[in-house]
Structure 1
Amino acid sequence: MGFAAVARVTEDKWIACAIHDEINFGLAVGGELNLETTICNEIRQHKKPVVIDHVAEDPEFANHHTPLLYGFQSYISVPITLKNGNFFGTLCAIDPKPAQLKNTTVIGTFTMFADLIAFHLDALEQIAITELELKKQQEVAVLREQFIAILGHDLRNPLNAISSSAQLLSRLNLDERGIRIAKIVKDSSFRMNGLIENMLDFASGRLGEGITISRTPDEDLEKLLIQVVDELKTIWPSRNIEVKFNFDHPVNADGKRLAQLFSNLLANALNYSPADSTVEITAFSTGEEFNLCVANKGKQIPAAAMERLFQPFSRGEVEPSQKGLGLGLYIASEIANAHDGTLDVSSTPEKTCFTLHIPYKK
Structure 2
Amino acid sequence: MEPDEKFNADIELVSRIKAIPTILDVVCLTTGLGFAAVARVTEDSWIACGVRDTIEFGLQPGGELKLDTTICNDIRQTRKLVVIDNVVDDPEFCNHPTPAMYGFQSYISVPITLPDGTFFGTLCGIDAKPIRLNTPATIGMFTLYAEMIGFQLQAHLNLTASAAILLDERRTSELREQFIAVLGHDLRNPLAAIGGGVELIAKTPLNDRAAKIVPMVQSSIARMAGLIDNVMDFARGRLGTGLTLTRAKWDVASLIGQVVSELQSSQPDRLIQTELGLDGPVDCDGSRLSQLVSNLVANALTHGAAESPVHVTAIAKNGILVICVSNAGEQIPPAALERLFEPFERGAMKPSQQGLGLGLYIATQIAKAHGGALSADSTPEETRFVFRMPLT
TM-score of the pair, normalised by structure 2: 0.48
**Relative to 1, partners in 2 of residues 1:233 and 1:139: Cα closer, same or farther, differing over 3 Å?**
closer
Query: Over the residues paired in the alignment, what is the CA RMSD in angstroms?
Result: 3.7
1:322 lines up with 2:353 in the alignment: yes
1:298 is aligned, of 317, 329, 332, to 329
Q: Secondary structure at the match of 1:214?
A: coil
1:247-286 deviations in whole A, cap 9, x for unaligned?
Answer: 1232111111111111111111111123222111111234
Q: How far 1:196 sits from its partner (Å)?
A: 1.7
Once residues 178 and 277 of structure 1 are traced to their aligned partners in structure 2, the CA distance between those partners, rounded to angstroms, is 36
Q: Specify the alignment match of 2:365 in structure 1.
A: 334
1:224 lines up with 2:255 in the alignment: yes
Once residues 238 and 284 of structure 1 are traced to their aligned partners in structure 2, the CA distance between those partners, rounded to angstroms, is 27
Once residues 342 and 240 of structure 2 are traced to their aligned partners in structure 1, the CA distance between those partners, rounded to angstroms, is 17
1:116-127 correspondence runs (5 A): none
Once residues 164 and 298 of structure 1 are traced to their aligned partners in structure 2, the CA distance between those partners, rounded to angstroms, is 41
Q: Specify the alignment match of 2:283 in structure 1.
A: 252
1:150 lines up with 2:181 in the alignment: no
1:282 lines up with 2:313 in the alignment: yes
Q: How far 1:227 sits from its partner (Å)?
A: 1.9
Look up the equivalent residue of 2:189 and give its one-letter code: D
**Relative to 1, partners in 2 of residues 1:143 and 1:342: Cα closer, same or farther, differing over 3 Å?**
closer
1:45-76 deviations in whole A, cap 9, x for unaligned?
Answer: xxxxxxxxxxxxxxxxxxxxxxxxxxxxxxxx
**Relative to 1, partners in 2 of residues 1:325 and 1:145: Cα closer, same or farther, differing over 3 Å?**
closer
Does the 8 Å CA contact 2:347/2:357 hold for their aligned counterparts?
A: no
Look up the equivalent residue of 1:315 and give its one-letter code: R
Q: Secondary structure at the match of 1:353?
A: strand
Q: Specify the alignment match of 2:227 in structure 1.
A: 195
Look up the equivalent residue of 1:197 and give its one-letter code: D
1:267 lines up with 2:267 in the alignment: no
1:211 lines up with 2:249 in the alignment: no
Q: Secondary structure at the match of 1:150?
A: helix
Once residues 328 and 217 of structure 2 are traced to their aligned partners in structure 1, the CA distance between those partners, rounded to angstroms, is 28
1:46-195 correspondence runs (5 A): 144=179, 147-154=182-189, 156-157=191-192, 188-189=220-221, 191-195=223-227
**Relative to 1, partners in 2 of residues 1:183 and 1:225: Cα closer, same or farther, differing over 3 Å?**
farther
**Relative to 1, partners in 2 of residues 1:283 and 1:150: Cα closer, same or farther, differing over 3 Å?**
same
TM-score of the pair, normalised by structure 1: 0.52
Q: Secondary structure at the match of 1:311?
A: coil
1:100-120 deviations in whole A, cap 9, x for unaligned?
Answer: xxxxxxxxxxxxxxxxxxxxx
Does the 8 Å CA contact 2:305/2:330 hold for their aligned counterparts?
A: no
Look up the equivalent residue of 2:263 and give its one-letter code: L
Q: Which has the larger radius of gyration?
A: 1
Does the 8 Å CA contact 1:159/1:193 hold for their aligned counterparts?
A: no
Once residues 207 and 295 of structure 1 are traced to their aligned partners in structure 2, the CA distance between those partners, rounded to angstroms, is 31
- Structure 2, unmatched stretches of 5+, are 1-171
Q: How far 1:323 sits from its partner (Å)?
A: 3.7
Q: For this pair of structures, how many residues does the alignment match?
A: 219
Q: Secondary structure at the match of 1:209?
A: coil
**Relative to 1, partners in 2 of residues 1:233 and 1:192: Cα closer, same or farther, differing over 3 Å?**
farther
Does the 8 Å CA contact 1:289/1:357 hold for their aligned counterparts?
A: yes
1:240 is aligned, of 271, 290, 300, to 271
Q: How far 1:243 sits from its partner (Å)?
A: 1.2
Identity of aligned residues (%): 44
Does the 8 Å CA contact 1:292/1:356 hold for their aligned counterparts?
A: yes
Q: How far 1:151 sits from its partner (Å)?
A: 2.7
**Relative to 1, partners in 2 of residues 1:206 and 1:276: Cα closer, same or farther, differing over 3 Å?**
same
Once residues 332 and 308 of structure 1 are traced to their aligned partners in structure 2, the CA distance between those partners, rounded to angstroms, is 14
Look up the equivalent residue of 1:148 and give its one-letter code: L
